[in-house]
């Protein structure tokens, strides 16, 4: 299939691009490089440096590359920033996706895989969280994703767009060959923060040790980025125009913050300096996905379910790329103006 991948220079998108190409698909990446990295983009893909807001040119490229489906990763992803600057999140995550969906309708592209998040559930009513739990996000990031989910559902109903919404829980790890990995600036995710602290001799702040969990720290569900990327390919290949599905992607097994720290210590062979702090407001004690539905419908099984493997692959990436990606390369790219 010929696929447009928005945000394909980012962490998860770049892994999906590689898996798509390895599975025989043709990929065009659209990324404005606001957070992405040119070096992360598989050289077998065509990279268009531009924004999802650039309506006319996207329509032109959808036609020119005979695109049949869109994988939409492009978004801003910082929950804290979304509270301080909600306009940025509603504009980029919701409004720009609405424009992209309209572009797809005009160009006759009728399939989309959308990156959503556990944040649409807010404080869950039950765990493991099943897909039919009420959406009740508690911050603008989660709300921007919920609003986008709703728009996609309406576009399916009205214009026959087929969709798969994948709600990710905690994504971690890197390509096992350490050639691509996680390089967010700023980095807010637990595993890379711990590994940065090990590398730089710093400390890790642990928020809340009095939760009602086995060791008092929060429990989260981790999925390896390559397993997540594989889920996108399965979703794409099974999708039908005019029909939609929503799946959680987690491993169904939660790990506490202390367990994650212990796994990191084991992999790097060093003690980690931990500073215990009070709870942060808005952090639920347990966020664990039920992934029964995706296992049953799409036959998805994680290849890397062990937390140690996630950490090992992440550590290999961080050790080989101590400053992340080197920075913009002077590549000859197929470039168009952003609006
Ligand atoms: N990382 C996680 O743990 C996690 C968890 C849940 C959901 N998600 C979702 O997964 C998706 C990818 O996350 P990520 O961690 O790879 O983030 P990322 O920041 O690494 O990648 C996002 C990419 O989108 C690009 N981008 C942003 N706005 C754009 C626009 N308007 N036009 C073109 N390109 C644009 C950025 O340059 C970047 O390359 C996001 O939609 C995010 O909300 C991520």
Q: CB burial class (10 A; 0-12, 13-18, 19+) of residue 85?
A: middle
Gap from CA of 212 to ligand 1 centroid (Å): 32
pLDDT at 42: 98
How far is it, in rounded angstroms, from Cα 36 to Cα 25?
A: 22
Gap from CA of 189 to ligand 1 centroid (Å): 13
Residue 338's pLDDT band, with cuts at 50, 70 and 90, is very low
pLDDT at 332: 32
How far is it, in rounded angstroms, from Cα 302 to Cα 297?
A: 14
What's the average model confidence in pLDDT over 49-73? 95
Task: Write out the catalytic residue numbers.
Answer: 141
Over the stretch 40-54, which tens digit does the pLDDT of each residue have? Answer: 999 999 999 999 999
Residues contacting ligand 1 via CB (< 6 Å)? 6-7, 9-13, 30-36, 51-52, 73-75, 77, 92, 96, 115, 117, 168, 170-171, 184, 189
Over the stretch 7-35, which tens digit does the pLDDT of each residue have? Answer: 999 999 999 999 999 999 999 999 999 99
Look-up of token digits 């957070």: 35
Q: Which fold, 2-335?
A: Rossmann fold (3.40.50)
Instruction: Record the tokens describing residue 105, joined without a space.
Output: 């309708």
Q: Closest residue (by CA) to atom 29 of ligand 1? A: 74
pLDDT at 201 over 70: yes
pLDDT at 283: 86
pLDDT at 98 over 90: yes
Where does the chain show beta strands of DSSP type E? 2-6, 26-31, 46-49, 69-72, 111-117, 162-168, 170-172, 203-207, 219-224, 244-249, 254-256, 273-277, 286-287, 334-335
Gap from CA of 14 to ligand 1 centroid (Å): 10
How far is it, in rounded angstroms, from Cα 174 to Cα 15?
A: 8
Q: Closest residue (by CA) to atom 9 of ligand 1? A: 115
What is the side-by-side order of every strand in the sheet holding 26-31? 244-249, 162-168, 111-117, 69-72, 2-6, 26-31, 46-49, 334-335
pLDDT at 213 over 50: yes
CA-based nearest residue to 62, from 13, 148, 1, 3: 3
Residue 200's pLDDT band, with cuts at 50, 70 and 90, is confident
Most ligand 1 atoms within 8 A of CB, residue of 4, 5, 6, 10 to mutate:
10
Residue 111's pLDDT band, with cuts at 50, 70 and 90, is very high
Instruction: Give the position, in ligand 1's atom list, of the atom nearest the Cα of 14.
Output: 16
pLDDT at 255 over 70: yes
Look-up of token digits 């996609």: 152
Among 116-120, 144-148, 270-274, which stretch is predicted with the lowest mean pLDDT? 270-274
How far is it, in rounded angstroms, from Cα 88 to Cα 97?
A: 13
Most ligand 1 atoms within 8 A of CB, residue of 12, 53, 72 to mutate:
12
Most ligand 1 atoms within 8 A of CB, residue of 5, 8, 9, 13 to mutate:
13
């Amino acid at each position: 299939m010929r696929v447009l991948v928005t945000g394909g220079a980012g962490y998860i998108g770049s892994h999906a691009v590689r898996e798509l190409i390895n599975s025989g698909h043709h990929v065009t990446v659209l990324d404005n490089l606001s957070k992405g990295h040119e070096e992360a983009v598989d050289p077998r893909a065509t990279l268009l440096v531009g924004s999802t807001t650039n309506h006319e040119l996207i329509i032109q490229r959808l036609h020119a590359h005979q695109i049949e489906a869109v994988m939409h990763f492009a978004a801003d992803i910082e929950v804290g920033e979304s509270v301080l600057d909600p306009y940025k999140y509603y504009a980029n995550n919701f409004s720009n996706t609405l424009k992209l969906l309209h572009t797809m309708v005009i160009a006759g592209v009728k399939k989309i895989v959308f990156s959503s998040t556990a944040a649409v559930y807010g404080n869950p009513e039950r765990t493991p969280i099943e897909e039919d739990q009420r959406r009740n996000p508690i911050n603008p990031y989660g709300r921007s994703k919920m609003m986008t989910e709703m728009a996609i559902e309406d576009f399916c109903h009205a214009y026959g767009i087929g969709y798969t919404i994948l709600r990710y829980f905690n994504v971690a790890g890197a390509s096992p060959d350490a050639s691509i990995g996680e390089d967010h600036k700023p980095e807010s995710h637990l595993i890379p923060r711990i590994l940065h602290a090990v590398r730089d001799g710093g400390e890790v702040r642990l928020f809340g040790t009095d939760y009602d969990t086995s060791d008092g720290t929060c429990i989260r569900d981790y999925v390896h980025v390559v397993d997540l990327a594989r889920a996108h390919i399965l979703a794409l290949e099974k999708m039908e125009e005019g029909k939609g599905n929503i799946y959680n992607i987690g491993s169904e097994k939660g790990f506490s913050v202390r367990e994650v720290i212990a796994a990191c210590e084991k992999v790097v062979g060093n003690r980690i300096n931990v500073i215990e702090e009070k709870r942060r407001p808005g952090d639920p004690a347990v966020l664990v996905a039920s992934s029964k539905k995706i296992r049953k419908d799409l036959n998805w099984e994680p290849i890397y379910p062990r937390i140690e493997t996630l950490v090992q692959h992440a550590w290999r990436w961080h050790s080989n790329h101590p400053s992340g990606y080197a920075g913009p390369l002077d590549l000859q790219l197929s470039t168009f103006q952003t609006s």
